[in-house]
Structure 1
């Protein structure tokens, strides 16, 4: 039964569409209490005094918790991702505490937790709290943060440098000296928020009779949260159950973060002996959920006269926010992803991560890859213009050839291994994209005709590589039940990626059952004990491979049990349609359910060493990450008066290895492109000089609507990954990564900006910002 490559509808959708799916805010328990937080109104300030007496006296308030009330529980959170083993690296670790005790380092940092009989009472009680502050200078601008005399986000460090990492290979100085052309530019890519449909939330219940804590959490890494909470609360891991139910969008900020709220709500439930709920409101989301990244790149490219890259140098600043619990994942991704699909003989890259008085920065869909792609693709656009080359041709001339894989890039990636591209063939992807978008016709006929008619049409064409499928591991347990149904449990969480369908297809492929008969459980630590989490486009690669390996073992057990039943060789059996039969005798069959019963006898002797049941647990850990790749092409029209874009055509050609389900893959790409459009042309957080966020609402923070997101045309090429048994590569971030560079190129093309001496070197933009830029010429 071959279900791979077929656009099968999702198993999880009926319950979602009927409104029967469980989300964290749906959890209602007897005696449930509700939490709100009193948060710092300042970006940087000493807390001189805190008076919560009026809040505690309000009717319906059960408790008000401050840092002083936490005792030994008041500790900085863990370093979630340590820095990689890069020689000469500097790393200053500073992780967030649950509640501010002396110094607030960003607006919205929690200071006190109010617990009440209702959310309404808790919100009113927050207004009763009085705090006296000594405000301090706020650090926001990255270059100013490193200038002499700058205020320090962490005074004990005596610097705002969170980290410094230098990676190099080849001799860039020699490459630049011998180059026909050296181009230097400054590129900026500013902050944004993730804006999921569902904000974060935590519900915790302590059962003293069972001596057990249950936590429902909007997390992408339930096993990691369970382990961390158990350690913090002095419990065994078996005493803690974390359930990540349906989640309305994760995108990275709901990862294994140990946010203050995740730490405090379970603590409160245990202390009060009552269940406790906190649901983040939309205003809180802008301050308390981690942001995506701001970076400033000073980059240069050296090329020979034919347009071949000789070397690239890039020095950049990365805004890590007030703390750095997620280590250097984001800037490392930028540093490594910049290399893209191209042969770069000499590479010299140095970044400085900077502490600022802003909300923390952690991975958000793309996780720094956008920046690397933006810098490389913009450099190639500029170089093509200087050398009189077609933008597609300069890319083609620099592609890594198909016979060069695996291709070692000579730098350390975020998974701490040497960055090596496992497989790829980039030229066919480019050719498909050029044909699909009608590139030659657009350049020769469509654009000139549009300009003659007074219309501003432009085309963008961008290539990228997406690092995917990193370790360390995931696991899966597959079991044939007595009903004939098959269950699969895995420790990975799900936030709408279609795991319940894709993983079911993987298992169904091995066991010869309909994928509708495979029940998939994710995100429940009682159902599967070990796992890392959903991030870095790793679900299908790592957890899918674990499910495949477990299903293979179960298949062997099925055939072994059936062979004993039929008294024949395993090679003579056919496994299909939920049954096993002897080849050539389809009527002589036994169901999987009956075989499960035979494998678990209630009476009689069994062979020593026999394992009962038709089940298996397997783990898969890749030696290194895989690399997907693709090309996006877009035709866009800009209104001459408003400079608002209308995307007329959008093409994605992607290689993510073996395609399990093209319908789910298309959904991943569509969603990523929608977010990429937001990152490129709508979403930008605005701050004043005091570190106050000026557009913390959906009335002021622009996001793309259904009118801004076009229909997309998707095509695929396939170069299977040799690093996993399925040959799959991830695709979760592919839609978002190249869109900023795509917009920049298309804007210049549509408005003929190079002829006016104007270049697009920043993201994100908006009609207003684009108007300001175009007034320079």
Structure 2
């Protein structure tokens, strides 16, 4: 049996709570004396504004109206960026409440607080805003480069062929099932408390405290159950600061819950890149150099990780799984009068994978090589690891041809022609495509854990990560219960509370199991070693060896639970685990589509994923993560697009009527399996998986669609109208 429960499929212990209505989300919580906030948002993308709140303040039940003037009086600062490149300076720090100028439609102009939600809504409509419209003109934020431009120029000079593509990575709206909400309340002694859905309470606390002008230890942040995050809920938002300021002024709780339209207008978006990618090849189709020029739309302000995503997060992964000796990328980040852009599931790596995998398929098209052969010809070979990529990353392991061969076998790649003939006979166009992704995960920042064991066999784990649908309560409990032989039902996972948990990096970048799991394993090891002398005494041996929940010595054994029961008080261990290096999960997606040429509708008829995510803890949870991620990637490829008017930048997708998301009917049964190639730099051998499905899906779908339509390239989203236009010669 593998240690720490690795390889064991367990259903989620938290599911009973959720499926029976026992979940508790931010909007479910109500406090005595609670008031309600409503945001007045800008109707225009760029304008000088004058806000008149006199009438609103006189409305029944109104307790407070905050505008930019009141925020200045309270000493409230701008929102804090988590990352800026060295040459990036935010020209316009993002205010909590805008004024006297607004820079995107949906930006807060006032915050109305009243006794009831209906009163707050009525009063918000009474706030008068005078707009002096200004032109919606984009401007530069920064320019950032990576790689060796001169070496790339040399590679292109001696190339037998250069393949070039212009690529659109369409802007997306996260559309988490649970909209953002927060509940702020004052505490004795001038302290404040915020309850909000998040991907990590410490990030929210540490970024909001400077905005409020207080020390971080004066702000408590609590996160209950979370209905989806996808990167959106990593960062703090202006509404949280507004609610806290209002609670401090009124000395009573203030709740704000956004509706779906507010989500589209004010939640940070994802992607939004325009890239020109060029690949140099020799006469045998081997890659010599890669050059990528990207324009990254940051929106009106640099959001928390908005500048990190198109630079350090994704650019280094542009070379993918290929041995490309020369690489250079240039990112021109721009501000537009649109909703700010930040991390969205994959955060830079889906953009990179789409870029290189579409380019490789175009190279196959241009050279006459098959998509399989051109990849195999350029894969980093297994004996080259550890491999230092031209993108400044060191990959520890990988067997890319082996993984791809498994995917080709499981997908029935060799038999595609017969299925295509059947589709043709029915008047349909059928195509098949593959994509091979690799991503960087985990990082090396480290994570703390406190593990407490009770003599009666109970356990409590305090963690700094935050589940928002991944199943952490099961995964972490599984590690402890399986290794120590305890009942998983007796293991409690405590998360999302700065009052009890001092530090934490939160959940993002597929880091949770790599970092938090590593910390938990280390804590478990410390208990095994700590109780070893007691076990040896019970066994009347000099030393007892531990294995699968039991201490063993010559002539006998005793369970960990029996040894633990000898303790008079609970035992606790607190420690920090810091991985020595980032990890690099990778995998192959194979997509098969069928197109109705009369309507342009695309149906995904087969989908296969084979992943190398290192050692696998819980295969059932893993499949859920991979399939869910793939659905989001499919959504980007075929359906989703946050659209703004090209002249005015007025948002045109502000509801689920306008913004299409994938539904169950759009997705076939996904065939998923793994090839376990343990990570060489992580003590548990794992690599991470939370974003993997999203990263490989979009290029696989578009590659399949291009194959069906016999096109060299087609942009995302490939909606039925876009496909119909392509079939009828109207492709722009």
- TM-score, with length taken from structure 1: 0.89
What is the match of residue 203 of structure 2? Answer: 224
What is the match of residue 150 of structure 1? Answer: none
- Once the 2 structures are TM-superposed, how far is the Cα of residue 548 of structure 1 from its aligned partner? 1.0
Change (3 A) 1:173 1:162: closer
Change (3 A) 1:344 1:94: farther
Change (3 A) 1:67 1:567: farther
What is the match of residue 649 of structure 1? Answer: 606
- Once the 2 structures are TM-superposed, how far is the Cα of residue 765 of structure 1 from its aligned partner? 2.0
Is structure 2 residue 515 aligned with structure 1 residue 542? yes
Q: Deviations over 1:186-234 (max 9, x none)?
A: 11122110001001111112222x6543221111120122233444445
- Counterpart-to-counterpart distance in 1, 2:686 and 2:384: 20
- Worse-superposed segment, 432-441 or 615-624: 615-624
* 2:327 partner SS: strand
Q: CA RMSD in A?
A: 2.1
Contact kept, 8 Å, 1:450 with 1:456, in 2: the verdict is yes
* 2:31 partner SS: coil
User: How does 1:674-753 map onto structure 2 within 5 Å?
Assistant: 674-688=631-645, 689-753=647-711
- Counterpart-to-counterpart distance in 2, 1:511 and 1:291: 43
* 2:393 partner SS: strand
User: How does 1:58-73 map onto structure 2 within 5 Å?
Assistant: 58-70=59-71, 71-73=73-75
What is the match of residue 341 of structure 1? Answer: 321
- Once the 2 structures are TM-superposed, how far is the Cα of residue 453 of structure 1 from its aligned partner? 4.1
Is structure 2 residue 226 aligned with structure 1 residue 247? yes
What is the match of residue 416 of structure 2? Answer: 442
What is the match of residue 726 of structure 2? Answer: 773
Contact kept, 8 Å, 2:551 with 2:558, in 1: the verdict is no
User: How does 1:504-515 map onto structure 2 within 5 Å?
Assistant: 504-515=477-488
Q: Deviations over 1:65-99 (max 9, x none)?
A: 1111122533111121232x6xxx55546431110
- Counterpart-to-counterpart distance in 2, 1:238 and 1:319: 35
- Counterpart-to-counterpart distance in 1, 2:546 and 2:366: 66
* 1:127 partner SS: helix
Change (3 A) 1:589 1:479: closer
User: How does 1:311-710 map onto structure 2 within 5 Å?
Assistant: 311-325=289-303, 326-332=305-311, 333-411=313-391, 418-443=392-417, 445-564=418-537, 568-571=541-544, 576=549, 584-586=555-557, 591=562, 593-597=564-568, 600=569, 613-688=570-645, 689-710=647-668
- Counterpart-to-counterpart distance in 1, 2:6 and 2:545: 25
- Counterpart-to-counterpart distance in 2, 1:10 and 1:769: 41
- Counterpart-to-counterpart distance in 1, 2:557 and 2:394: 48
Q: Deviations over 1:125-156 (max 9, x none)?
A: 111000112111113xxxxx3xxxxxxxxxxx
Q: Deviations over 1:490-538 (max 9, x none)?
A: 1111101111111112223442323332211122222321111111111
Change (3 A) 1:266 1:564: farther
What is the match of residue 763 of structure 1? Answer: 716
Contact kept, 8 Å, 1:92 with 1:163, in 2: the verdict is no
- Counterpart-to-counterpart distance in 2, 1:344 and 1:764: 29
- TM-score, with length taken from structure 2: 0.95
Contact kept, 8 Å, 1:92 with 1:162, in 2: the verdict is no
* 1:545 partner SS: helix
- Counterpart-to-counterpart distance in 2, 1:399 and 1:671: 27
Change (3 A) 1:15 1:569: farther
- Once the 2 structures are TM-superposed, how far is the Cα of residue 258 of structure 1 from its aligned partner? 2.3
- Counterpart-to-counterpart distance in 1, 2:560 and 2:621: 34
- Counterpart-to-counterpart distance in 1, 2:272 and 2:247: 37
Contact kept, 8 Å, 1:572 with 1:583, in 2: the verdict is no
Q: Deviations over 1:313-340 (max 9, x none)?
A: 1111000111113252211234222211
- Counterpart-to-counterpart distance in 1, 2:616 and 2:633: 22
- Counterpart-to-counterpart distance in 1, 2:108 and 2:180: 15
- Worse-superposed segment, 223-232 or 181-190: 223-232
- Once the 2 structures are TM-superposed, how far is the Cα of residue 623 of structure 1 from its aligned partner? 3.4
Q: Deviations over 1:665-684 (max 9, x none)?
A: 00001110111111111111
- Once the 2 structures are TM-superposed, how far is the Cα of residue 706 of structure 1 from its aligned partner? 0.9
Contact kept, 8 Å, 1:293 with 1:320, in 2: the verdict is no
- Counterpart-to-counterpart distance in 2, 1:23 and 1:163: 41
- Once the 2 structures are TM-superposed, how far is the Cα of residue 661 of structure 1 from its aligned partner? 0.3
Change (3 A) 1:675 1:281: same
* 1:360 partner SS: coil
- Counterpart-to-counterpart distance in 2, 1:366 and 1:391: 24
User: How does 1:185-200 map onto structure 2 within 5 Å?
Assistant: 185-200=165-180
- Counterpart-to-counterpart distance in 2, 1:437 and 1:572: 46
- Once the 2 structures are TM-superposed, how far is the Cα of residue 696 of structure 1 from its aligned partner? 0.8
- Counterpart-to-counterpart distance in 2, 1:540 and 1:697: 35
Unaligned runs of 5+ in 2: none
- Counterpart-to-counterpart distance in 2, 1:589 and 1:350: 56
- Counterpart-to-counterpart distance in 1, 2:512 and 2:637: 26
What is the match of residue 34 of structure 2? Answer: 32
Contact kept, 8 Å, 1:311 with 1:344, in 2: the verdict is yes
* 1:627 partner SS: coil
Q: Deviations over 1:240-270 (max 9, x none)?
A: 3211111100000111x22101212122212
- Once the 2 structures are TM-superposed, how far is the Cα of residue 123 of structure 1 from its aligned partner? 0.8
Unaligned runs of 5+ in 1: 140-144, 146-158, 412-417, 601-612, 754-758
